[in-house]
Structure 1
């Protein structure tokens, strides 16, 4: 890693990110801990069967993104005076080696749970052998130029994958030789004006590129999802919801997830706690969006403040977690799946 990047990496390490190589980070999720110690699981388990204690949360592009979104929790280079072009990932680690490192770091992160009085030994050994990788966490994963090879490596080892993208690289998505097990496109804006205001693109035509991604989503053979991060006071108006309905009609995703923005990390310098919606409000907004799109409400997770819409009768189960599916008992309200430390600021 270039020396001038080290101040940024040092802050991320304090935030409990763990580096795999020069540009990839891994972090233990809140729900990994809860799944091991209390048998509680996140909404990905409830909706899709993803086992929370066997999920590696990572990003192959720790410092790089084509947006500077107001709600993003990540530390940006300029926050620390680091000279780095966020739009170009200039170093590339080998994908096979990276997957080896992801598994090694995941095992190191959970090693302390062996022998823990509240951890079932069987569950610990399940966690020791991860079965899912979520490419999200921080940065834009489609900026990693060997993304298709990375997905192949994940799947070759019998693991499933979620790819979460802003949709700004339709060229990369169109050329994938290996699709993720499920593709997410994350949205907060409903038109170019709201996009330029809120997502603060760092490259030209970012909105148009996002639209290209939405247009190609029906061509994917894997399940697809549009994730709408609900920011109270910004994208909860009827104008915004009608705009989202048009985008959903264009993309025809398998699922629509409406999830509350969480007031954590660096986003607290830009937004207020009032922008974080309570679950009841997420449900109310989701009901209106359901009316506009014809996507029925299929399920919800109060703990994660998320509502699932789909035209399917039930979600496609990609893993063996939460065998009761949408009927899985809820954790206590107020908990949330945060892959970051909300108390660490730049």
Structure 2
């Protein structure tokens, strides 16, 4: 397929200028550092991509799974669409711009090859900006121009993109691994994936239907029940699976929540559990408080409790990201060459500069 990027750009500009609502969303996305790809997809440079080339510090995906942080594309096929309006999410939501749009149904279906090619091109353009930077490792900058991984997450719900299987396949055809992150409200899409991602993440914050309705604020009926269906699907995946429990201090760090989380694990038997702190970022700052962001000690404690409840081994941590890893296998499956002994020695690759959550100031 020959892609006319001039036409892609023209179509994108026409779409985002087609209404005052879309223009407001577009301007907010650009202000927040997103680069639009296709029509409604996006790429954003990750904090750890910069840290890798400038300070040789790496993200937890490098520590545990071998993903080279500087060669990782952070992307989404649907920048502003999701079936939830979670309180902790940094996704742009109607209340953030004082306007309404149907954020449950993406109005455009981009070609997967366009999204993949543009995401690679944009990542290269971003990383090329570090050429000549005296603080950057120029060998790593050159490596970054040849990305090896795509994190299909960033913002929005990727399962709302109907050509997701093709998107994953296009990345794999180019030699890139893929991590897919979802809230699991579309078990039908997960069930129909012809091509699995290299690793599948289910993001979890709530522990029962009442808490889900309050915190995740679903926009569709039966969202909690659909999430339960997703839990039943997890054992059928051949790729490694992860339950990422995002801990919001004062909300889901209590005994009742953690007991339910352990039952989810028992039911689905994911390969790993990641316990991660909520980040006080983006639109969530208007819905939650800075005090809702746990310390790393808080995360360690939750990790220890979940380890005891589930029998999963507490294997590693990344203090700067406020995250710990639990696993039902002795050693994580690695998808790349990064941080070879990062599980055992995270301090070597991700030293903590302070007790602050550094992404907040990036």
RCO higher in structure (CA 8 A, sep ≥6): 1
SS at match of 1:134: strand
Kept after mapping to 2: 8 A contact 1:260/1:276: yes
Gap regions ≥5 residues in structure 2: 1-14
1:270 alignment counterpart: 287
Task: Indicate which of 38, 45, 64 corresponds to 2:81.
Answer: 64
How far apart in 2 are the matches of 1:216 and 1:239? Answer: 24
2:197 alignment counterpart: 180
So what's the TM-score if we normalise by structure 1? 0.96
How far apart in 2 are the matches of 1:232 and 1:80? Answer: 27
**Once the 2 structures are TM-superposed, how far is the Cα of residue 22 of structure 1 from its aligned partner?**
1.4
**Once the 2 structures are TM-superposed, how far is the Cα of residue 337 of structure 1 from its aligned partner?**
7.3
SS at match of 2:245: strand
1:14 alignment counterpart: 31
How far apart in 2 are the matches of 1:72 and 1:97? Answer: 27
Kept after mapping to 2: 8 A contact 1:304/1:335: no
How far apart in 1 are the matches of 2:141 and 2:299? Answer: 34
Kept after mapping to 1: 8 A contact 2:38/2:111: no
Indicate whether 1:131 and 2:121 are aligned: no
Q: Which moved more, 1:311-320 or 1:80-89?
A: 80-89
SS at match of 1:186: strand
2:12 alignment counterpart: none
Task: Indicate which of 260, 280, 289 corresponds to 2:277.
Answer: 260
Q: Which moved more, 1:219-228 or 1:288-297?
A: 288-297
* Residues 125-169 of structure 1: per-residue CA shift (max 9 Å, x gap): 110000000011110001011000000000000000000000000
1:106-145 matches, cutoff 5 A: 106-145=123-162
How far apart in 2 are the matches of 1:154 and 1:91? Answer: 21
* Residues 154-195 of structure 1: per-residue CA shift (max 9 Å, x gap): 000000000000000000000000000000000000111111
2:53 alignment counterpart: 36
Gap regions ≥5 residues in structure 1: none
Task: Indicate which of 68, 79, 85 corresponds to 2:96.
Answer: 79
How far apart in 2 are the matches of 1:100 and 1:203? Answer: 32
So what's the TM-score if we normalise by structure 2? 0.92
How far apart in 2 are the matches of 1:17 and 1:334? Answer: 27
- The total of aligned residue pairs comes to 341
1:318 alignment counterpart: 335
Kept after mapping to 1: 8 A contact 2:85/2:216: yes
**Once the 2 structures are TM-superposed, how far is the Cα of residue 342 of structure 1 from its aligned partner?**
6.5
2:298 alignment counterpart: 281
**Once the 2 structures are TM-superposed, how far is the Cα of residue 310 of structure 1 from its aligned partner?**
0.6
How far apart in 2 are the matches of 1:7 and 1:342? Answer: 24
**Once the 2 structures are TM-superposed, how far is the Cα of residue 74 of structure 1 from its aligned partner?**
1.9
How far apart in 2 are the matches of 1:297 and 1:219? Answer: 24
Task: Indicate which of 330, 351, 358 corresponds to 1:331.
Answer: 351
Assess, with a 3 A threshold, how the Cα gap between structure 1 residues 200 and 133 changes in structure 2: closer, same or farther.
same
1:238 alignment counterpart: 255
SS at match of 1:58: strand
Kept after mapping to 2: 8 A contact 1:31/1:337: no
SS at match of 1:212: helix
